[in-house]
């Protein structure tokens, strides 16, 4: 089945094989997770100008190692089934498709898909456009049918790392109003009075009560009781709500921004030694990994070298690239 998975990722699969693959994926959650493992590794090893994609065998081998790690972690502790080495591998990969176990079936023709974090913890999903979303416990995100935009409806709290697409605005609506963005990282939370929006980086427009305001990095907007948005500074580095493991979600985020957030999150200096690395984009998400694993993953993604010292961690270009 691995050969069919790779054909699908290359875009060369024929209709009959596509049906076989779809049936296999639907037969068990383990099959679907293996497909997602391969897809993530495929996306995360997308060739860059100075590197080539690993062989198909290497990609499948890495996916199988993730399967083995998942089994070992489940034996150790079901609660941490998506942490440790498993998450370290998952986080270094740009996720290609959404996580199936949080996709709800719906007969409502208004929505294409609905995603839910129904358990006590959070869920991290990837939408079909590459946007990464973390849903707080009890939250539901509906994908609306739209041809000209990426439109969603939120009930609860979610953090979005949006893939930039100037031709398709990203819209999130709530009972109290909505948010419009082209590419950024931001958080939306609904309340019984309205909703609030916090921007980690980028720019969003908040619509409510026939009024529109723009908020940027480090700002938040609160909408209550049908009134226009009220803008203020956001002092909570980990988001509008107390996320269990903070918020470390990146979608084409510059490395210099990534290390700044890692330093603040772990309260330890993480330094980029060469400005040539500062603008290298990082797409990954983390949820509870220790600093050393997180930085090692970032270095794998960016093709850099990590040096770990007691007081700081230094990220540098590989010697041949200096």
CA separation, residue 110 to residues 136, 147, 188 (Å) = 23, 13, 21
pLDDT at 175: 92
pLDDT in tens, 224-246: 999 999 999 987 655 666 677 78
- Which pTM does this prediction carry? 0.67
Q: Three-state SS for 94?
A: coil
Where does the pLDDT of residue 42 fall: very low under 50, low under 70, confident under 90, or very high at 90 and above? low
Report angle CA 214, 216, 218 to the nearest 5 degrees. Answer: 135
Q: Please count the other Cβ atoms lying within 10 Å of the Cβ belonging to residue 225.
A: 8
Residue 26's contacts (CB-CB under 8 Å, 6 or more residues apart) are 32
19-28, 184-193, 248-257: range with lowest mean pLDDT: 19-28
- pLDDT higher at 286 or 93: 286
Please report, for the chain, the start and end positions of each structural domain, with discontinuous segments joined by +.
1-96, 117-244, 248-321
Q: Kindly tell me if the per-residue pLDDT of 316 is higher than 90.
A: yes
Q: What is the CATH number of domain 248-321?
A: 3.55.50.30
Domains 117-244 and 248-321 share a fold: no
Architecture in CATH of 117-244: Sandwich (2.60)
Where does the pLDDT of residue 268 fall: very low under 50, low under 70, confident under 90, or very high at 90 and above? very high
- If you compute the radius of gyration of the chain from its CA atoms, what whole number of angstroms results? 20
pLDDT in tens, 292-312: 989 988 998 888 999 999 999
55-59, 89-93, 274-278, 314-318: range with lowest mean pLDDT: 89-93
Q: Which of 9-18, 40-49, 68-77, 249-258 has the highest mean pLDDT?
A: 249-258
In residues, how long is the chain? 322
pLDDT in tens, 132-173: 999 999 999 999 988 788 999 999 999 999 998 888 899 999
- pLDDT higher at 189 or 52: 189
**Rounded CA separation 212/178 (Å):** 10
Where does the pLDDT of residue 186 fall: very low under 50, low under 70, confident under 90, or very high at 90 and above? very high
pLDDT at 82: 34
pLDDT in tens, 243-253: 777 889 998 89
7-11, 58-62, 70-74, 293-297: range with lowest mean pLDDT: 70-74
Average pLDDT, the chain: 78
């Amino acid at each position: 089945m691995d050969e069919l998975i790779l054909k699908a990722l290359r875009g060369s699969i024929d209709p009959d094989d596509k049906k076989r693959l779809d049936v296999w994926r639907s037969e068990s959650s383990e099959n679907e997770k293996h497909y997602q493992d391969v897809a993530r590794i495929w996306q995360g090893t997308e060739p860059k100008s100075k590197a080539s994609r690993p062989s198909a065998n290497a990609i499948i081998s890495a996916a199988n190692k993730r399967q083995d790690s998942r089994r070992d972690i489940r034996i150790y502790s079901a609660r941490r089934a998506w942490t440790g080495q498993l998450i370290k591998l998952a986080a270094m990969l740009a996720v290609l498709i959404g996580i199936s176990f949080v996709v709800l079936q719906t007969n409502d023709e208004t929505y294409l898909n609905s995603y839910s974090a129904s358990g006590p913890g959070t869920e991290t999903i990837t939408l079909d456009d590459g946007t990464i979303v973390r849903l707080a416990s009890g939250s539901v995100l509906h994908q609306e049918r739209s041809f000209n935009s990426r439109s969603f409806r939120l009930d609860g709290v979610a953090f979005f790392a949006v893939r930039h697409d100037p031709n398709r605005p990203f819209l999130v609506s709530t009972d109290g109003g909505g948010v419009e963005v082209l590419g950024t990282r931001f958080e939306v939370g609904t309340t019984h009075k309205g909703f609030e929006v916090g921007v980690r980086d980028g720019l969003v427009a908040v619509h409510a009560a026939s009024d529109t305001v723009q908020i940027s990095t480090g700002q938040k907007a609160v909408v209550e009781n049908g009134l226009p948005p009220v803008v203020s500074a956001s002092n909570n580095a980990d988001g509008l709500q107390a996320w269990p493991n903070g918020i470390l979600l990146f979608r084409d985020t510059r490395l210099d921004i990534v290390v700044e957030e890692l330093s603040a999150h772990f309260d330890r200096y993480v330094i980029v030694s060469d400005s040539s690395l500062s603008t290298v984009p990082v797409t990954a998400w983390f949820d509870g990994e220790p600093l050393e694993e997180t930085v090692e993953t970032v270095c794998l993604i960016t093709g850099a070298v990590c040096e770990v010292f007691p007081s700081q961690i230094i990220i540098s270009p590989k010697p041949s690239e200096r």
